[in-house]
Amino acid sequence: MMTQAFYTGLSGLRSSSTGIDVVSDNLANVSTVGYRSYDVEFSSIFEETLNTSSLNSGQNSIGIGTYANAISMNETAGELIITEASTDLAISGEGWFGVQGTSGEMFTRAGNFTFNADSALVTPDGNYVLGTMANNIENGILTNVVDSLDLGDINTQEKLEFPNTLYSPADPTSIANFYGNLGISDETRKISASVIDSQSNKNELKLTFTKSEVQNELGTRWDVVAVTSSLDGESVYDTQEGVVEFDETGGLVSSSLKTIDNNGTEVEINLGTEMNGVISTDSMAISGSSSSDGTIGGELLGYTINMNSEVIATFSNGVQSSVGKVAVYHFQNDQGLERISGSLFQETSNSGEALFYQDENGKNILGSTVVHNKLENSNYNIAAGLTDLIILQRSFDANSKSITTAHEMMQKALQMDA
């Protein structure tokens, strides 16, 4: 029975030591972004039943120690901390970010990402963040604007890498709209609009209205000359002439002026309909105005991440486009993930393979809300950790004392035998 006391004490020392190691690791990572703490579960090794006197109908038992039965991950979400970087992400709910490094594909709750010198989205350790590329960049040119990007298949996720230099090409003007009251007096009226050509030049489309010599019986008729030219007027690209007719109310009836060339791009001239657009009434003439579509080309200003975890490229011409999307992975059993270091994990046979959640239409979705300008702090409670550390330390001391006591008792027993 004395030797059993040694084994009991030794098992207690091992269990307490394991517990101290786990709590110490938790405390060391109390400020680690995305850290998931661990809890130790202890169990009795086994118990031996002791026979008692016949006067006692019950039975007594004595255990011979304890052991660390399991070390389980605490899946409680950590506190979200507000930051100033749009590349800082936090997952509100379950799920993991995927990253790729020298150890292969890994998973983390730490979203303290940044763009490196090559405009790749990376972790502080240089691991590449995984996600879906929009595939709308070719030879440093944005090929099309993507307003919203869906997650691709899980086996197509790749490093989110983008060019340092990116150009948003010009979107030439296709239609110019004109507004204003020409009045009815015989005076020349002019209305201008800015129009963009395919070479990203901002040009001028000017309409000059003069009253026709032959008028309508009820309304008015105006001759109009349209000219497209460079802003300095040195280059004239096209000149078109037409006739515009209005009814007795001043509303537009017809216009023979339809389109004009803008340095290789056709532009539709829209004067409106009836009383919407250009009119001719006997009220005070109103200075004309115009609107047109199209944008000039733009240089890349930088990349940011929005609330849908999409990487957004912003250009000097005001154009914004999604160029990638950070993926959120899920597992059937998060407890089965193997921790590599800090807040990095790898999948195992116990965790199952990584998967994406899908909506009712079978489309891949994040499955949780990803918030930007925030980070998830460690989920470990430092106050509880310090308390656990004191308890485990006292347990270690008690088990150490039990071994010392058993040793002293054995020494006395040997002396008595002598």
The whole-number pLDDT of residue 9 equals: 58
Per-residue pLDDT of 44-81, as tens digits, reads 665 555 455 545 545 555 556 665 666 777 888 888 99
Residue 185 and residue 284: Cα distance in Å, rounded?
A: 10
Two tokens, residue 291: 């609107």
Considering only the C-alpha atoms of the chain, give the largest distance between any 2 of them, rounded to a whole number of Å.
Answer: 143
Cα–Cα–Cα angle for 260, 265, 269, nearest 5°?
35
Determine phi and psi for 299, rounding to 5 degrees: -90, 150
What tokens appear for 84 in the block?
A: 């100033």
Residue 47 has a pLDDT of: 54
pLDDT band at 210 (very low <50, low <70, confident <90, very high): very high
Q: Phi-psi bin for 309: left (phi > 0), alpha (psi -120 to 50), beta? A: left
* 0.95 surpassed by pTM: no
Q: What is the average per-residue pLDDT within 233-240?
A: 94
Residue 396 near residue 13, CB atoms below 8 Å: yes
Residue scoring higher pLDDT (39 or 2): 39
